[in-house]
Structure 1
Amino acid sequence: MSPRKSVAETGLTRRRILDLGLAIASAEGLEGLTIGRLAGELGMSKAGVLGHFGSKESLQLAVVDTAAEMFVREVPERARGVPRGLPYLRAAGEAWISYLERELLPGGCFFTAAAAEFDGREGPVRDAVVRMSAFWERELRVNIWRAVSLEELPADADIDQLLYEFVGIMLALNHFLQLHDDRQAPARARRALERLF
């Protein structure tokens, strides 16, 4: 086997582990993610799975990174090229609703689940979840501020309140889709965003 093929196969195996890990963690939490389970479902040895990550915590962090890549691809990237401010907020909102509506992960929004799982804890995994959340909230806050400065939103608009409500709508959407299997939830989220902006 050539070194190039070996590196490519290693990368593919790592991707398979992370894709399965992300699917499991979205539904059962990062604590439910075990080396043994991944090995069993992928037909690998535990040592084979562990060799890619070194520890359960490293695996969890890699899954958080994989979830972040998916979210960025499915939400901010879909709004790329849209003018900043209110048009961006609307495009990002629609992309976020679509991301949840299409149920790309069996447990819905990975970060909603991970935030609930790790919000009362400390450590690198919680910090990684907080960083991703802060990154996205900063992006939204900048665009809300831009919409205010361009007079697309009222000059006295409370930027933090708008951000809070925007994120709250998406948390509610995930809740109603996942817990209640409410197929009307995306339409409700769209109406709520339209009222908000």
Structure 2
Amino acid sequence: MARTRTSGPARTDGRVVRGNQTRRLILARTVEIASVEGLEGLSLGRLASELELSKSGVFALFGSKEELQLATVRAAVKIYVEHVLRPMEELPAGIARVWHLCTGWLAYSEGRVFPGGCFFYSASAEFGARSGKVHDALADARADWLAYVGQTIEEARTAGELRADTDVPQLAFEIHSFLEAANSESVLLDDFSCYRRAAKAVHARLHAAATDPELLPELSTAKV
């Protein structure tokens, strides 16, 4: 009995560890597929075949295609945070932080962290006119990102580095539009010069709103 009590939890823990490892392996592949082929391109059978796993094992981890799609969105959010938001944590509030957030996003898209460009741009286009849990998850992710951009701009305005009359939601919208336009054009036309043009557009917009343009890093500091 003593051996049974000792070995039982060990076996359970081992299964949990293996299950978590398999889940990470699957999601690393699903974010790649979805960024190129869309979330509808995911299937439990395809993943089992590509990753040489049992279909029943993949089904046990996710249960349905919708749950697989939702897990993929959550995995993509984590990757996005690590590449776009995490590098901003140590930067002080101000116009330079806004600038580096924008150029960091452009570098994320140009560097093809996701093979198909920005995961959320393509997935949002795919599910934008639909309803349901996947649509809601993508809408929440987009709203969170836009809120972060707006907050970063507002902090720069509060710090006195952007004009007091700056229309923060409008500026956030314009900047976001420049970034997404570069992503879209680069994916469709395989033309990466658009990233430099987007950086130039963002820089000009921030320069016009700055209380002291010298606080804005030079365009040459763009990561693209």
Same fold by TM-score, threshold 0.5 exceeded? yes
Q: Sequence identity of aligned pairs in percent?
A: 40
Q: Does 1:159 align with 2:168?
A: yes
Within 1, Cα distance between the matches of 2:114 and 2:124?
16
Q: Does 1:72 align with 2:85?
A: no
- AA partner of residue 115 (structure 1): S
- Superposed CA offset, 1:95-122 (max 9, x none): 1111111112111111001110111111
Q: Does 1:143 align with 2:152?
A: yes
Q: Which residue of 2 aligns with 1:99?
A: 108
Gaps of 5+ in 1: none
Q: CA deviation at 1:176?
A: 1.6
Q: CA deviation at 1:151?
A: 2.5
Larger Rg: 2
Q: Which residue of 2 aligns with 1:193?
A: 202
Written as runs of structure 1 = structure 2, the 5 A alignment for 1:38-187 is: 38-187=47-196
Within 1, Cα distance between the matches of 2:127 and 2:100?
29
Correspondence for 2:33 among 19, 24, 35? 24
Gaps of 5+ in 2: 1-9, 207-224
Moved more, 124-133 or 153-162: 153-162
Written as runs of structure 1 = structure 2, the 5 A alignment for 1:3-14 is: 3-14=12-23
TM-score norm. by structure 2 comes to: 0.84
RMSD: 1.4
- AA partner of residue 143 (structure 1): T
- AA partner of residue 186 (structure 1): Y
Any conservation in 2 of the 1:29–1:114 contact (CA below 8 Å)? Answer: yes
Q: CA deviation at 1:78?
A: 1.0
TM-score norm. by structure 1 comes to: 0.95
Any conservation in 1 of the 2:93–2:159 contact (CA below 8 Å)? Answer: no
Q: CA deviation at 1:45?
A: 2.3
- Superposed CA offset, 1:38-67 (max 9, x none): 111111222111110111111100000000
- AA partner of residue 196 (structure 1): R
- Equivalences, count: 197
